[in-house]
Amino acid sequence: MADFLLELRCEEIPARMQAGARAELEKLFRRELEAAGVKHDNLRIWSTPRRLALIAYDLPAATEAVSEEAKGPPEGAPDAAIDGFCKKAGVTRDQLELRDVKGRMTYFAVVATPGRPMAEVLAAAIPAIIRDFSWPKSMRWGAASITTDSLRWVRPLSGIVALLDGAVLDVEVGGIRSGRETMGHRFHHSGSIAIESAHTYEGQLLNARVIVKHTKREALIRQGAEEVAAAAGLKLVADEGLVIENAGLTENPVPLLGRFDEAFLDVPPEVIQLTARVNQKYFVCEDSQGKLANAFVCTANIAPLDPAVVVDGNRKVLAARLSDARFFWEQDQKTPLAVHAEKLSRITFHEKLGTVADKVERVAKLARWLVESDIVTPAKAGASGGSDHTPKVPASAGMTKEKLADMAEQAARLCKADLVTEMVGEFPELQGLMGGYYAAKEGLPQEVAEAIRDHYKPVGQGDDVPTAPVTVAVSLADKLDTLMCFFAINEKPTGSKDPFALRRAALAVIRLVLENGLRFSVDATFETMTDVIAMGRRDDEGQARRDELDALLLNEIASGSAGLHWFILDRLKVQQRDAGVRHDLIDAVVTKDDDLVRLLARVHALQAFVTTEDGANLLAGYKRAANILKKEGYEGPAGTPDPEVLSSLKEGNDTIPDTGEEDPLAMVDDPDVGDILAAEARDNPSLSYTPEPAEQALIDALDSAAPRAAQAVREERFADAMAALATLRAPIDRFFEEVTVNAEEADKRAARLALLARFRDAVHRVADFSRIEG
């Protein structure tokens, strides 16, 4: 067993690339070992800004010898055949063996590949690893770069240490020859170090003031930063991203605490934290009340002669940055948001979708409309949502609908204004937040300021969903507009490409709707929204251009938004899968409903039902009935609506979607249609024979259960609808046990098929059981 050390030393590797580089090194090393047939699983991979290191313990001394044999032609075969076989097997004729195969002498080629020494395998692997290494960005350097074929690396590669059981593996890549020499800390150690072996590597580097294990440096920064904060009576604001970044910038990290002028604390804490973090990679601290303190923690790469000197230098840099931030903060407030918003007409939202000002105009109208059409109401938003928040009376409690509509429109008109402020120009990640601060400073209503602040939410999976009605209206309007517009110009996500984050927008819509219990039909809403967009505008500036844009949008939406409905339902399936909801159950109800709240209530009831014994058996009964009907090519007697009847029904009731479904009964999802059928069946009980008891029992059960289920669905009591269906389970089971559907008498057969069809349709009106798996 042998131990191997590889160190690739180079000029400072960007911190953000080091984790990827470790993974790449591991991947390539494993690839090389596998290609040599070596199974191995005892690897260590470490990185510092100046080196990538790999240690493989317990490698075999050599690869295993492999013997392969191939059966050839029989003795006496034509020469051409034998020569051809030799060529294929890579042997000469005199190396062939003759063996008896079932009484026939046959040629065999035996090719024995001897084991290769591990040193040889690794010496070949190292150049391959270096040459195939993939960096996010790589470069050429030095005299060799006179051609573009020269070696590429993230920054100039300066040394290779390759030791197998302490012996140097001699390789040369890009003019760099391997050896045992490496460098210690850039400033705390001078001259080179001769590494003895994989086992002494970490310790020898430590003596040269380099902590080669990145995890150890991370732990040191994490704890050290906490300690210096605690020593100053403060609490560090934990930031794992900063821990990793600082560990990627240092070989010998030393966290140091400094203070900045308390006067800067007038600036919002998020701004201070971001300035410190993004520009300087400093941690910030809180006092015992959880308020941001005037302190920072920087991570030096040296143990400085006088830490105060280093801290003071860093303090000055931070002070200059914070003065800039304060300048922006004060400057931005000199202009009201409404005036900032005017500049949005200079920012392109999308080439085909006009400016951000155009978008704001649409969002403002939609936000108002969402309130005026009672989708977002003062009572609704915040009432059912935010279950994990402490329930408190929303600030907007008791607000009138008119007031809410006004506020939603006002907030929407201002929500993007901060994009043109100096502060957001400097720190784009503060969008929304700064608008909220500026709105509050301007004295705008709290609800409006909060809506401006939070209207981008929910951004990620774990992000809070807004519940304040004004915010919900603006946030929902913003996302619906984005979805509609990009679908209208056919910029839909494909595969992994979603440049306008439409999947995220759809998910945000779903979460806003579900958590706030917002009730509306997705399809109908998209249709109405196009009318809203087309409403008259307030100002005349650029009216012709905007009219043109709107015309384009309306035209495109008419053809394009059909896909949007399915896009949203698709996101719903993905989202609900994580919550343990079966996608086939969503499929079973989507054609019935596009009110997401109701749809999900139906799915939940269905899932609860099909997992019970009654549910599973009913599903089996349904499938059996559906199969018989299909096998018999059942068209239906009088009582089953023909396509004409259906289409006339459809005219009066446009909730029946035109899905191109072949089975007309699949369309019968409207309780009214079902009732007509049931009534017709009752009015026309022209059974020309006496039904068998099991048959009569099913008829009676259907007479009772079908209207009950339909009624329950109408009243959105889905559990009751399931309970009604459950009463059909015993009768259908008994029917199949005791009654022969395929009776010899034609009338009996027809009547029994009609009965099964009635059963199928009754079930169908609750959910499309044919979509359910199992």
Q: Kindly list the residues in this chain that would bind other proteins in the complex (CB under 8 A).
A: 11-12, 14-16, 49, 137, 139-148, 154-156, 158, 186-188, 249-250, 280, 282, 298, 300-302, 304-306, 309-310, 312-314, 316-318, 320, 346
Q: Which is nearer to other proteins, 136 or 774 (CB)?
A: 136
Min dist CB 301 to other proteins, Å, is 6
Min dist CB 360 to other proteins, Å, is 18
Min dist CB 359 to other proteins, Å, is 18
Give the orientation angle of helix 718-726 with respect to helix 613-631, to 10 degrees: 70
Q: Which is nearer to other proteins, 153 or 369 (CB)?
A: 153
Reduced to 3 states, what is the DSSP secondary structure of residue 602? helix
Q: Which is nearer to other proteins, 153 or 427 (CB)?
A: 153
Alpha-carbon span 345 to 360, nearest angstrom: 10
| Segments of 40-165 assigned E as strands | 43-48, 51-59, 66-74, 97-101, 104-113, 157-164
Min dist CB 143 to other proteins, Å, is 5
Min dist CB 348 to other proteins, Å, is 10
Min dist CB 282 to other proteins, Å, is 8
Q: Which is nearer to other proteins, 12 or 654 (CB)?
A: 12
**Amino acid identity, position 82:** I
Scanning 151-291, the segments in alpha helix (DSSP H) are: 198-207, 214-231, 240-247, 269-274, 280
Min dist CB 94 to other proteins, Å, is 49
Min dist CB 500 to other proteins, Å, is 22
Min dist CB 249 to other proteins, Å, is 6
Alpha-carbon span 420 to 341, nearest angstrom: 8
Alpha-carbon span 506 to 514, nearest angstrom: 12
**Dihedral, 620, 624, 625, 628 alpha carbons, nearest 10:** 170
Q: Which is nearer to other proteins, 345 or 521 (CB)?
A: 345
**Dihedral, 390, 394, 397, 400 alpha carbons, nearest 10:** -140
Name the strand (E) or helix (H) holding 293.
Answer: strand 292-300
Q: Which is nearer to other proteins, 137 or 334 (CB)?
A: 137
Min dist CB 165 to other proteins, Å, is 30
Query: How many C-beta atoms surround the C-beta of residue 34 within 10 A?
Result: 11
What are the Cα distances from residue 23, in Å, to 26, 52, 210, 738?
5, 11, 21, 66
DSSP 604-654: HHHHHHHTSHHHHHHHHHHHHHHHHHHHTT----TTSPPHHHHHHHHHH-T
Q: Which is nearer to other proteins, 317 or 679 (CB)?
A: 317
Cis peptide before 307 (omega within 30 of 0): no
Q: Which is nearer to other proteins, 102 or 334 (CB)?
A: 334
Alpha-carbon span 309 to 296, nearest angstrom: 15
- Count of residues in the chain: 774
Min dist CB 266 to other proteins, Å, is 20
Min dist CB 183 to other proteins, Å, is 10
Alpha-carbon span 769 to 774, nearest angstrom: 10
Alpha-carbon span 679 to 699, nearest angstrom: 13
Angle at 62 between CA 59 and CA 68, to 5 degrees: 125
Min dist CB 364 to other proteins, Å, is 24
Q: Which is nearer to other proteins, 144 or 194 (CB)?
A: 144
Q: Which is nearer to other proteins, 301 or 467 (CB)?
A: 301
Q: Are 471 and 455 in contact (CB under 8 A)?
A: yes
Q: Which is nearer to other proteins, 277 or 453 (CB)?
A: 277
Greatest pairwise CA separation for the chain in angstroms? 108
Q: Which is nearer to other proteins, 1 or 139 (CB)?
A: 139
Q: Which is nearer to other proteins, 16 or 71 (CB)?
A: 16
Q: Find residue 193's DSSP bridge partners.
A: 182
Alpha-carbon span 118 to 167, nearest angstrom: 12
